[in-house]
Amino acid sequence: MVKYGMVLVLVIGCVSLAFAGMPDAKNVGSVYEGATVACTVCHPAGKFKEVTPYGKDYMEAGRSVDAVKAIGEKDSDADGIANAAEIKAGTNPGVPEAK
């Protein structure tokens, strides 16, 4: 019985962590209506404790809707395309080679 309780606590903890970053995706989605924002916009795939250049800029700008707007014209991943244009086009503003 104790084992099941521990598993339940572990599952709830993991689910909570998985959704902890959702407000950030909602902030981006609220500025760019209809845009699908993957976790990999702010975090490198498989390295979710790290941030992409876009994630770094977003954090430094204040991690809010205003932060998303403030870095829209910036080219965080230095691929020649502004963050706003990338998000609208469905490419990743945090990874230069990601289309």
Long-range own/partner contacts, residues 67-72 (CB < 8 A, 24 or more apart): 67/27, 68/27, 68/28, 68/30, 68/31, 68/32, 69/31, 72/31
- Cβ of residue 75: shortest distance to Ca ion, in angstroms? 4
Number of residues that bind Ca ion (CB under 5 A): 4
Does position 79 bind Ca ion by CB under 5 A? yes
Q: Is 5 or 80 the residue whose CB approaches Ca ion more closely?
A: 80
Tell me the two tokens of residue 88. Answer: 């609208």
Does position 75 bind Ca ion by CB under 5 A? yes
Positions touching Ca ion (CB under 5 A) are 75, 77, 79, 81
